[in-house]
Amino acid sequence: MLDIQSLRTNLPFVAERLALRGVTLDTAAFEALEAERKRLQVHTQDLQARRNTLSKQIGMLKGKGEDASAVMTEVAGLGDALKVGEAALAELMPRFDAFLELIPNLPHESVPVGKDETGNVEVLRWGTPRAIAAPRDHVDLGTALGGLDFEAGVKISGARFTVMKGRIARLHRALTQFMLDLHTLTQFMLDLHTGEHGYTEVYTPYLVNPESMFGTGQLPKFEEDLFMVPRSDGGKLYLIPTAEVPVTNLVRGEILAGDSLPLKFVAHTPCFRSEAGSYGKDTRGMIRQHQFDKVELVQMVRPDQSWEALEQLTGHAEAVLQKLELPYRKVALCTGDMGFSAAKTYDLEVWLPAQNTYREISSCSNFESFQARRMQARFRNEKNKPELLHTLNGSGLAVGRTLVAVLENYQNEDGSITVPAVLRPWMGGAEKISAA
């Protein structure tokens, strides 16, 4: 959510920045709402003030045992006007809030201007794709190895669900879990992030309430992208589309001590996305699923440190790719391609030989105070006053897509997969995965 003051005092600027995102701010509608709000609020609060003053007089008169009937008659005359004013305000304010809540964040000045993904700017390339003659994709490779079963996923749940088996499942676990078994790759990811990067591991609920979804910006605008679980009492829970939601909401409604920042969390969770509106996209393979695992990095920082933190956090995600020796590129999303809540986003795209292109495997964003304002997440600043903190997050990494990248980049001519050296401790020392 944007700062309402910025709209009041600098509406043309806000509209101009939003226009870069392809969003047209209805400034006339805002000004009308604001004028109405001001008129009603001043009027109603004035009536409330008079009522309060007179009521206090009644209390004082009665305390002294004097007659208060004249004052009581006077205050009774305020009743109707007050009720009308309060009712009008109660009707207006939700409309006012709804208007604000649907406005996306303003892009940071360093964000390249563009209208869609073609406007994104490559910041760097790391690694050189290995020359692979006639590369096979992860579907062929995984199916041939008996480790990916797309038909089973369809039978059990439907399109965009996959079953993993055997050593591929273990490879995925190696890429995902920390302490479930003796050695896993997510343990490697989590070890890297908790050990070398200073993050605290958290385990969170996978079902969250609407307030949490509002806090990070998924609601109210993007409900169709979520899986909703109705409760017997009429309430709702949502399956998390990313660990960003439960982890960031850890600080919702809190006023943190200034010296507790920055907070850095890492969480491994499944992620659930309905993928509404992407019916024809990436229908083959594991690229776009309703359920996938992700290791997520989240930071809460002081406002003056969030831009440094974004570079740092992105570097942490890059380190995973570098240790896996997967070629990737780092892209600064342009104004027209950024998500609703982000002020700036870097995507990391990993090389996929079978697609002969780079595909998104991580998205790292600084939300500045946009989420914090929705969540009322604050810290005590130098003046001991509550101040909104800044939030950031990034995938470190999406595990399913990392598995795809490992299968495709480490494939051998005979269809076997070389296990990346850094993963072998979590694969029982295995150097290769081959058929039977």
Partner RNA sequence: GGAGGGGUGGCAGAGUGGUCGAAUGUACCUGACUCGAAAUCAGGCGAUGUCGCAAGGCAUCCGUGGGUUCGAAUCCCACCCCCUCCGCCA
Query: Please, what is the minimum distance in Å from the beta carbon of residue 68 to RNA?
Result: 7
Query: Would residue 363 show up in a list of annotated catalytic residues for this protein?
Result: yes
Query: Would residue 95 show up in a list of annotated catalytic residues for this protein?
Result: no
Query: Please, what is the minimum distance in Å from the beta carbon of residue 265 to RNA?
Result: 21
CA separation for the pair 39, 252 (Å, rounded) = 32
Catalytic residue among 254, 275, 360, 387: 360
Per CB under 7 A, residues contacting RNA are 4-5, 38, 41-42, 45-46, 48-49, 51-56, 58-60, 62-64, 72, 75-76, 79, 90, 233, 255, 378, 384-386
For residue 322, give the nearest of 264, 364, 362 by alpha carbon: 362
CA separation for the pair 190, 177 (Å, rounded) = 8
Query: Please, what is the minimum distance in Å from the beta carbon of residue 427 to RNA?
Result: 29
Beta strand 357-368 with 344-352 is antiparallel
Q: How far is CA 358 from CA 315, 347, 351, 355, in A?
A: 18, 11, 4, 8
For RNA, give the closer residue by CB, 81 or 124: 81
For residue 176, give the nearest of 81, 266, 70 by alpha carbon: 266
Query: Please, what is the minimum distance in Å from the beta carbon of residue 153 to RNA?
Result: 26
For RNA, give the closer residue by CB, 220 or 428: 220
CA separation for the pair 391, 226 (Å, rounded) = 22
Catalytic residue among 37, 125, 288, 424: 288
For RNA, give the closer residue by CB, 72 or 123: 72
Residues 6+ apart with CB under 8 A from 82: 44, 47, 48, 51
Query: Would residue 308 show up in a list of annotated catalytic residues for this protein?
Result: no
Query: Please, what is the minimum distance in Å from the beta carbon of residue 14 to RNA?
Result: 15
Query: Please, what is the minimum distance in Å from the beta carbon of residue 65 to RNA?
Result: 11
The per-residue DSSP string of 3-31 comes to: -HHHHHHHHHHHHHHHHHTT----HHHHH
Using the structure block, give the residue that is written with the tokens 């600027």: 13
For RNA, give the closer residue by CB, 132 or 255: 255
Query: Would residue 278 show up in a list of annotated catalytic residues for this protein?
Result: no
Q: How would you list the strands of the sheet with 378-380, edge to edge? A: 255-256, 378-380, 386-388
Catalytic residue among 212, 363, 365, 369: 363
For RNA, give the closer residue by CB, 371 or 409: 371
Q: Provide the CA 239 distance to its chain's centre, in angstroms.
A: 13
Residue 135, amino acid: P
Query: Would residue 273 show up in a list of annotated catalytic residues for this protein?
Result: yes
CA separation for the pair 40, 50 (Å, rounded) = 16
Using the structure block, give the residue that is written with the tokens 């910006």: 217
CA separation for the pair 104, 59 (Å, rounded) = 49
For RNA, give the closer residue by CB, 82 or 219: 82
CA separation for the pair 323, 319 (Å, rounded) = 6
Catalytic residue among 17, 160, 170, 401: 401
Burial class (CB in 10 A: 0-12, 13-18, 19+), 164: buried
The per-residue DSSP string of 155-171 comes to: HHT-TT--EE-HHHHHH
Query: Please, what is the minimum distance in Å from the beta carbon of residue 263 to RNA?
Result: 16
Catalytic residue among 273, 373, 374, 378: 273
For RNA, give the closer residue by CB, 52 or 278: 52
For RNA, give the closer residue by CB, 124 or 179: 179
Query: Please, what is the minimum distance in Å from the beta carbon of residue 34 to RNA?
Result: 8
Catalytic residues: 273, 288, 360, 363, 401
